Amino acid sequence: MRQLTAIAASGMLLLLLLALSLMLGAKSIAIHDISLALTTACGSADCIIVREARLPRTLAGLLAGSALGLAGALMQSLTRNPLADPGILGVNAGAGFAVVLGIALFGADSPADWLGFAFGGALLSSLLVALTGALGGGRVNPVRLTLAGVALGAVLEGLTSGLSLLNPDIYDHLRFWHSGSLDIRNFAILRATYPAVIVGGLIALLLARSLNSLSMGGDLATALGTRVARTQLLGLLAIALLSGAATAAVGPIAFVGLMTPHLARWLWGNDHRWMLPGTLLITPCLLLAADILGRVMVPGELRVAVVTALIGAPMLIVLVRRKLGRGQI
Amino acid sequence: MNRAMIQAIWLLALCALLAFLGVTRGALPVTAAQLWQLVNGEAARNVQLIVLEWRLPRVAMALLIGAALGISGAIFQSLLRNPLGSPDILGFNTGAYSGVLVALMLFHQTSEIITLAALIGGVLTAALVYLFAWRNGVETFRLIIVGISVRALLMALNGWLIISASLEAALSAGLWSAGSLNGITWAKTPPVIAVLLLALLLTSLLARRMRLMEMGDDTACALGVPVERTRLWLMLLGVVLTAASTALAGPISFVALLAPQIARRLCGGIKGALPLAALCGALLLLAADYAAQHLFLPYQLPVGVITVSLGGLYLIALLVREARRQ
């Protein structure tokens, strides 16, 4: 019952934040005008702001938020690492690098092409991180995994910025995208990426039961009839789909996938059948709230990736102090 | 002549060769004969301008900053007994850069104030990381993860500062944010050179104690080293070296991580590690800067892009090897 209440409450919160995201900004627009703009064809300035700027922005927040949250939750469960996050582990950087390579070498210039490259890059880099972490044998050391990810991310970001500085064309393509902002002003990217998010999300939700038994340890999970290798492989696929799509849509945003799974575990417990849908609801809340905060906090705007880092980095410190202190890592 | 000495001579020769290339090569090539004329004071005015005012400051500062970063890395890697405990991973150079940005926004942009701000930023960041990582003592891995998060926080903060600065300040700061030696002139260098030389001198005075402390706190204490006080001084010097370098060249990553590691491989032990680390750092930064200038013409990359790629690859190799060994 408590879990259902929490689901309902976060659903309401999400609706509220969706409305606020449409209303607030450099120019505030009343809710009445928004419903008018969404339902009828109109030509006023407010109407154009809502349709061309705020609506894609809000939908991007919803899409990227759910994708990043689920990817983070999956990563944390699969690697049994409380510090995992597609941003921290360099998966987003991998997706970004692949997109830059795609533009540089293959002349990819439509969002659909970017998605393919982003997906491939995300898959490769998550594989690489998993391999680096797994070389130690059976159990993956969370600290080593985090460091491997940070190293990978640093290399890929260095190469990405090098390539984009060398080629003004790429720089121009990536200017708005590379910075991790929801302000995309364009439905094409959303249309190209949402199927990947839906497929990845469905895989993740279907894995919930297997993840539950996997969290008790590989041997016990096998004894309970869970196919461990298949779960891990599907999980990896879902992570790549989700974080690749999110990165292709809004650029690299870190720390979102780190925070909300912990919040979801606190609200709904360790049962993935509740925790994953919960994450799906509260992550867009966080991302939208960060975006709204960035819009109203300073004149001009603060990119959402900056706001999430400002909130998320202290969270990582708290986590590492608590878990390392209790010897859980 | 022991092994470390021979390696040092090799490194010096390579540095000299690269410095010669750095001074002579470019859009307006300078021949060796012209350089000789310059040394004798008979060169034409344009050659003087190109070599002494344009190219020499860049080469000289690449050598000095590289050496400072190498020593800084060697200090922290020795104190934390872990190759990953380097000031760039712990975010100290990012913190120094935050100081620089604040100074650029709030004050007049004189090089004294920028250097001071970088020092304050670096020391504050180091104190913050240490404080957050403190929990009945400091454990190296916790320190590293806390450093990574503080670094992410500061990078976000730097992004914010760059956005809210005036356009000119933002543009120059943004170009600089990857770490670059572009546009260094003699006029900007005196405060940084003074701080770096002072810190290097003090470090060389503490070098013997640092070697003793690598044998363990108890042994060092028994040999008469005031352990806690020495550790504090060494950390301060390490941060100052990184921060002063950042004041001039922006946050150049991974030289501090790489140089001491290469030095350790070269000399095969601890003895003479500090001078070798300095030489390796100088050579590394000079070579990376030369590559950044000349490899990708007509574009000039910031040198930080090169060092981050090299250093990151090395970091991955290091992690893989450590994982294998276990």
- The confidence band for B325, taking pLDDT boundaries of 50, 70 and 90, is low
Indicate whether B159 pLDDT > 70. yes
What is the model's pTM?
Answer: 0.81
Is the torsion defined by CA of B99, B102, B105, B108 positive or negative?
Answer: negative
Share of chain B above pLDDT 70, in %: 92
- The confidence band for A328, taking pLDDT boundaries of 50, 70 and 90, is very low
Residue B105 is predicted with a pLDDT of 79
Indicate whether A23 pLDDT > 80. yes
Residue A59 is predicted with a pLDDT of 92
As a whole number, the mean pLDDT across chain A is 81
Indicate whether A17 pLDDT > 80. yes
Closest partner residue to B320 (CB to CB) among A132, A309, A313 is A132
A156 contacts on B by Cβ (under 8 Å): 312
Closest residue in chain A to residue B295, using alpha carbons only? A166
Closest CA to A282 of A84, A4, A5, A11: A11
B149 contacts on A by Cβ (under 8 Å): 313-314, 316-317, 320
Interchain CB distance below 8 Å, A151 and B316: yes
Indicate whether A327 pLDDT > 50. no
- Measured CA to CA, the distance from residue A211 to residue A217 in angstroms comes to 10
Chain A with chain B: Cβ pairs closer than 8 A = 128
Indicate whether A139 pLDDT > 60. no
B84 contacts on A by Cβ (under 8 Å): 147
Across A167-176, B173-182, B183-192, which has the greatest mean pLDDT? B183-192
- The confidence band for B208, taking pLDDT boundaries of 50, 70 and 90, is confident
- The confidence band for A50, taking pLDDT boundaries of 50, 70 and 90, is confident
pLDDT digits (tens, 9 = 90+) for B15-32: 999 888 888 887 777 888
Interchain CB distance below 8 Å, B135 and A316: no
Q: Which residue has the higher pLDDT, A102 or A165?
A: A102
Interchain CB distance below 8 Å, B323 and A154: no
Indicate whether B175 pLDDT > 60. yes
Indicate whether A138 pLDDT > 60. no
- The confidence band for B278, taking pLDDT boundaries of 50, 70 and 90, is very high
pLDDT digits (tens, 9 = 90+) for A149-159: 777 777 787 77
Closest partner residue to A158 (CB to CB) among B84, B159, B305 is B305
Q: What value of ipTM does the predicted structure carry?
A: 0.76
Interchain CB distance below 8 Å, A135 and B324: yes
Q: Compute CA A78 distance to the chain's CA centroid, rounded to the nearest angstrom.
A: 16
Residue B239 is predicted with a pLDDT of 93
Indicate whether A99 pLDDT > 50. yes
CA angle B92, B96, B98 (to 5 degrees): 115
Closest residue in chain B to residue A130, using alpha carbons only? B320
Closest residue in chain B to residue A308, using alpha carbons only? B156
- Measured CA to CA, the distance from residue A116 to residue A102 in angstroms comes to 9
Indicate whether B170 pLDDT > 60. yes
Indicate whether B162 pLDDT > 80. no
- The mean pLDDT of A274-279, rounded to a whole number, is 92
Distance between A72 CA and the closest CA of chain B, angstroms: 17
H, E, C per residue of chain B: CCHHHHHHHHHHHHHHHHHHHHHHCCCCCCCHHHHHHHHCCCCCHHHHHHHHHHHHHHHHHHHHHHHHHHHHHHHHHHHHCCCCCCCCCCCHHHHHHHHHHHHHHHCCCCHHHHHHHHHHHHHHHHHHHHHHHECCCECHHHHHHHHHHHHHHHHHHHHHHHHHCCHHHHHHHHHHCCCCCCCCCHHHCHHHHHHHHHHHHHHHHHHHHHHHHCCCHHHHHHCCCCHHHHHHHHHHHHHHHHHHHHHHHCCCCCHHHHHHHHHHHHHCCCCCHHHHHHHHHHHHHHHHHHHHHHCCCCCCCCHHHHHHHHHHHHHHHHHHHHHHHC
Distance between A225 CA and the closest CA of chain B, angstroms: 30
Closest partner residue to B323 (CB to CB) among A136, A165, A307 is A136
**SS3 state at A28:** coil
Per the rule left: phi > 0, alpha: psi between -120 and 50, beta: everything else, B166 is beta
Residue B298 is predicted with a pLDDT of 72
- The mean pLDDT of B133-141, rounded to a whole number, is 76
Residue A329 is predicted with a pLDDT of 45
Closest partner residue to A317 (CB to CB) among B84, B132, B305 is B132
Indicate whether A184 pLDDT > 80. no
- The mean pLDDT of A179-198, rounded to a whole number, is 82
As a whole number, the mean pLDDT across chain B is 83
The backbone torsions φ and ψ at residue B167, rounded to the nearest 5 degrees and listed phi first, read: -60, -45
Closest partner residue to A151 (CB to CB) among B156, B296, B312 is B312
